[in-house]
């Protein structure tokens, strides 16, 4: 093939994604949920949150006769017209960012009507209310996506409840590890993935707690001192916005950032669980391990090396917690919050498709599980059980056996009870064989 690639290919920088099966290295286009994840957050002000607050505030002011009923109806009808155009499109057109609702109203129904909406409000509570709404929406999205991810992982675990695999010492930990990716013992793929299911269940409880703490309404606190407008009803606005409680102290509502930090904490630990799983899978999918293989739709290839099948979705998910940490520490915390939540939610939404299509090479897993003394701890325990020796003695006897076998080029399957007896004599310095069957 020469010249320009046909339209049946998608070329994304250094990544090729085949659009027709059987062409090139990859056989299917990029998964839609992976495309959304790579796109990330669409940098726009939270117009939907502003819009909810504007409507709820108008309803409350009209019900309490702070705005004349006829003017309230005109304002709400104007907002309906805005929704027909598109809330984001209309608010971007008129400008004003958090005050875009008022700007739109003045252009539609005039200053004398549209100018009424800001009674009892400030830029302060416009921003604070919108952030509460945005955090709440992200938390709900994350909980929905986590449930779907968990269900897919449970289904995978049920399918692989007896699929043997070698266990490696932890590869990604908070405090680091001195035994990174060292051959350890044997487990099954079902048992392995269920460990992350259990972690996600605990993360769900954190998301619920963060949701409860963000369900407190700052609406009507103005810039921290409230308003003295007669009839102003913060409780009614709270109800209309779907909050469950109210900041009793207006300055508390403006000064308080704990609700955001609580959400960030849940976000960080959740991202760490996701990255922990996919750091492992990224390693296990390499040619050297070859324990699992992702579907082509979650992979890319190289513009120079035609053999490459890069598990790009695994790498993206493995990087998640690092990206969240860096964004939380960045100069623009609001931008970092949006980007981090978007990435974590999109990451969770990728997990069901990945788990459904992940291929496990059972023969390769069984071969590796038996290659490097993964039963050593169990055999040391058998010595304790059968011969009544202290654990440390049994441990050292078997460690001596392993060293001797490696020096003599023997595989685990080639070692007999004679090797164990030799190791026992060497370690304990007595002539009697151990006599284990």
pLDDT value at residue 202: 97
Residue 340 counted as domain residue: yes
Identify which of 231, 232, 212 has the alpha carbon closest to the alpha carbon of residue 220.
232
How far is 380 from 396, CA to CA, in rounded Å?
Answer: 9
Which residue in this structure is represented by tokens 């998964």?
Answer: 31
Q: Are residues 351 and 207 in the same domain?
A: yes
Q: Within 10 A of 8 (CB to CB), how many other CB atoms are there?
A: 11
Q: Are residues 75 and 145 in the same domain?
A: no
How far is 25 from 19, CA to CA, in rounded Å?
Answer: 11
How many structural domains compose the chain? 4
pLDDT value at residue 147: 98
How far is 368 from 291, CA to CA, in rounded Å?
Answer: 9
Q: Within 10 A of 423 (CB to CB), how many other CB atoms are there?
A: 22
How far is 3 from 8, CA to CA, in rounded Å?
Answer: 14
Token digits of residue 264: 């960030």
- Residue 314 near residue 278, CB atoms below 8 Å: yes
Identify which of 358, 350, 323 has the alpha carbon closest to the alpha carbon of residue 146.
350
- Residue 171 near residue 196, CB atoms below 8 Å: no
Which residue in this structure is represented by tokens 């986590």?
Answer: 146
Q: If you compute the radius of gyration of the chain from its CA atoms, what whole number of angstroms results?
A: 30
Q: Are residues 186 and 255 in the same domain?
A: yes
Residue 161 counted as domain residue: yes
pLDDT value at residue 314: 95
pLDDT value at residue 332: 67
| Structural domain of 107 | 47-119
pLDDT value at residue 431: 62
Q: Are residues 235 and 380 in the same domain?
A: no
pLDDT value at residue 330: 67
Which stretches of the chain score pLDDT less than 50?
1-19, 21, 177-179
pLDDT value at residue 336: 83
DSSP 166: E
Burial of 25 (0-12, 13-18, 19+ CB in 10 A): middle
Question: CA–CA distance from 317 to each of 9, 220, 302, 349 (Å)?
Answer: 25, 40, 20, 11
Model-level pTM greater than 0.75? yes
Q: Are residues 112 and 152 in the same domain?
A: no
Q: Are residues 215 and 304 in the same domain?
A: yes
Domain ends where: 98, 119, 140? 119
Residue 38 counted as domain residue: no
Q: Are residues 61 and 187 in the same domain?
A: no
What tens digit of pLDDT does each residue of 322-356 get? 888 888 776 567 788 888 999 999 999 999 999 99
Q: Kindly give the pairing relationship between strand 216-217 and strand 245-246.
A: parallel
Q: Are residues 129 and 170 in the same domain?
A: yes
How far is 98 from 130, CA to CA, in rounded Å?
Answer: 9
């Amino acid at each position: 093939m020469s010249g320009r690639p046909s339209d049946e290919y998608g070329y994304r920088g250094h990544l090729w994604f085949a659009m027709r099966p059987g062409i090139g290295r990859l056989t299917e286009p990029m998964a839609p949920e992976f495309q959304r994840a790579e796109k990330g957050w669409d940098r726009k002000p939270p117009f939907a949150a502003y819009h909810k607050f504007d409507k709820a505030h108008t309803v409350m002011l009209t019900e309490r006769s702070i705005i004349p009923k006829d003017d309230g109806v005109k304002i709400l009808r104007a907002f309906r017209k805005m929704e027909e155009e598109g809330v984001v499109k209309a608010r971007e057109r008129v400008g004003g960012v958090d005050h875009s609702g008022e700007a739109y109203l003045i252009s539609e129904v005039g200053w004398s009507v549209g100018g009424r909406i800001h009674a009892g409000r400030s830029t302060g509570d416009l921003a604070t209310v919108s952030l509460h709404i945005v955090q709440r929406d992200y938390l709900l999205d994350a909980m929905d996506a986590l449930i779907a991810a968990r269900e897919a992982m449970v289904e995978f675990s049920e399918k692989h409840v007896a699929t043997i695999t070698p266990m490696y010492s932890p590869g990604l930990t908070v405090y680091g590890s001195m035994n990174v990716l060292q051959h350890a013992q044997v487990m099954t793929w079902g048992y392995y993935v269920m460990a992350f299911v259990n972690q996600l269940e605990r993360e769900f409880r954190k998301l619920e707690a963060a949701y409860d703490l963000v369900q407190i309404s700052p609406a009507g606190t103005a810039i921290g001192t409230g308003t003295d407008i007669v009839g102003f009803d913060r409780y009614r606005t709270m109800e209309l916005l779907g909050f469950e409680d109210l900041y009793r102290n207006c300055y508390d509502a403006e000064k308080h950032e704990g609700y955001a930090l609580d959400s960030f904490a849940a976000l960080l630990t959740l991202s760490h669980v996701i990255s922990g799983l996919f750091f492992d899978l990224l390693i296990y999918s390499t040619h050297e391990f070859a324990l699992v293989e992702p579907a082509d739709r979650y992979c890319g290839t190289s513009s120079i090396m035609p053999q490459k099948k890069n598990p790009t979705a695994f790498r993206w998910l493995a990087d998640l917690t690092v990206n969240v940490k860096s964004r939380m520490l960045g100069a623009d915390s609001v931008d970092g919050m949006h980007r981090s939540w978007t990435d974590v939610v999109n990451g969770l939404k990728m997990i069901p498709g990945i788990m459904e299509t992940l291929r496990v090479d059972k023969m390769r897993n069984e071969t590796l599980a038996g290659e490097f003394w993964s039963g050593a701890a169990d055999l040391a325990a058998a010595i304790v059980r059968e011969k009544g020796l202290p654990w440390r003695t049994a441990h050292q006897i078997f460690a001596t056996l392993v060293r001797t076998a490696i020096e003599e080029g023997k595989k685990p399957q080639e070692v007999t009870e004679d090797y164990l007896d030799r190791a026992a004599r060497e370690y304990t310095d007595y002539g009697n064989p151990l006599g284990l069957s």
